[in-house]
Every structure is written in structure tokens, then in C-alpha cells.
Amino acid sequence: MKQCTIAFIGGGNMARSLIGGLISNQFIAENIHVSDANTEALDNLASRYNVKTFTDNLAAIADADVVILAVKPQQLQSVIRQISPAWQQDKLLISIAAGIRLDDITRWLDFEGAAIVRAMPNTPSLVQAGATALCANDYVTTEQHELAESMLRAVGLALWISDEKQMDAVTALSGSGPAYFFLVLEALQTAGMELGLPEETARLLALETGFGAAKMALESDESACVLRQRVTSPGGTTERALDVFEDGDLRGLFNKALTAAAQRADELAEQLGQDYD
């Protein structure tokens, strides 16, 4: 699988993170093609990773086994319609454009039996710590499933969902989730500074605390609930702080926030999936 030819349409941040992860996982650089209108971005990718670059999408995908669409959602329809006449049965199409449903991609590609995977990576993929959910249509073979998963695992966690409707929840949880943690870090730093800590001290303590808590949770077989209870001594400082969070209905706020994000994801999918020609 690591000797297959992979073509990226779009050479932005997410494509760059995937390319870096693939090469670090022994995928062959000369078998990776990247197409983009931005020649400066292409030059940077070629210089850093020794990949082949193109300004013509059709030339980039000509002999590719996998085509990864890494363009903005608003550009996806035009890109798919452009490559549609050159599509071939043995290719796998992976879209990492947020919010575009499999049915819409299938309609725009207009190729009977096309194997298509929709993936929702998040921004920590840029540092190979991403979380990606994948959903496939019925034409994706077992080998293509394995290939898509191995490619996304190169930048972090990759897991499959069987019901595409769950993608809105994925978007709300892991897609938008990094921003929630950044907000928590921001709030912790600000609160620490208001208690008298220097800015840099508060920043570093907040960052390392977040990293350490996540690392403990990842490496433990216990639930987050159990881990929380273990660091909460009765009558202690942690319990006093958690009581304030509970009184403020922090759990309810998270539920409302994710529900709002999922609803917006559904709205955007409806808008972005409309034909414009």
C-alpha cells in the first residue's frame, strides 16, 4: 500500500500535514503528487518533501490510485466536475472537505460505482496528533478501506463510522473541539494571571496541565470520570473548584454548544451540497 500513487488536489495546511505524516510513515515521496494553483506553495512542498507537483489537476491524478480532495468546501464542486471526465474505476476518492456529503460528491463525480471516502480530520493533524472519522460508500473495497485508514493514521487517530449522519456529531466534537480546548486554556491562563501569576508562568502551567491530563487519559484504562474522582479529595481545593463548575452547569453548556455546532454542520451541508450549474 505504501507504494501506491497518491494525488492531492490542494496543497494547503491539511494537505501538507498529511504529506508529512505519509512520508514519515515510509510512503514513497516520488509517488505523491500535489496539484495547486499556488506555485509558491508547490515549490515549498517540493523542496521540503521531494513530491511531484502540478498546476493541472488532470495531470496530477492521471496515474493515481488515490485522489485526496484537500480544497475548501466551496471549491469542491467545481474541482470534482473538472476531474469527472477523467475518472477511472480503480481509483479511490477521499474528500477531507468539511460538510460535503457522500451523495453530493457522488452526484458531481457522475461515475457509476466510484469508490468514495469522506474524512473529517481536525487541525491537530498538523502536528500528527489529529483525530479523524471516516465514512465510505458501498463501492469502497476492503483494500481501499485499509489504505484510507492507514493514510489518515499517519497524522493521528483514524476510525470508521457506519452512519454518515454521525458526521455532524463528529464535526461538533472533534472537528470543532480543538477550539473548545483552546478556550479552556485561555480561561485558565487568564484566571491564573488574575490570581497574581506572571503571564508566561500562567501560560506554561495551563499548557502543561492540559497536555498532562490528556496524556494520562490516553494512557489509562479508566474513564475520565474515574480519573477526575481520583484527583478530587473530599473537602479539598479541587472539589471546591468543581462545585463551581457544576453550579454553573458546565456539562449543560457543553451539550448546548455541541448541539449548536452539529446543527450548523447540517445547515452548511445543505447549502454546500446544492448544484450551482
Binding site, annotated residues: 9-14, 57, 70-73
Q: Pick from 147, 141, 174, 122: which is nearest to 22 by CA?
A: 147
State whether residue 149 is helix, strand or coil: helix
Q: Which three cell numbers stand for residue 4?
A: 501506491
d(CA 197, CA 204): 11
Question: How many Å separate Cα 200 from the centre of its chain?
Answer: 30
Cα 50 to Cα 30, 37, 53, 60, 61: the distances in Å are 7, 18, 9, 15, 17
Cα 179 to Cα 12, 67, 185, 253: the distances in Å are 20, 29, 10, 15
Q: Which three cell numbers stand for residue 172?
A: 461538533
Binding residues for NADP(+): 9-14, 70-73
Strands (E), 90-221: 92-95, 115-120, 130-136, 156-160
State whether residue 169 is helix, strand or coil: helix
Binding residues for NADPH: 57
Cα 56 to Cα 42, 49, 178, 201: the distances in Å are 12, 19, 34, 50
Residue 256 identity: K
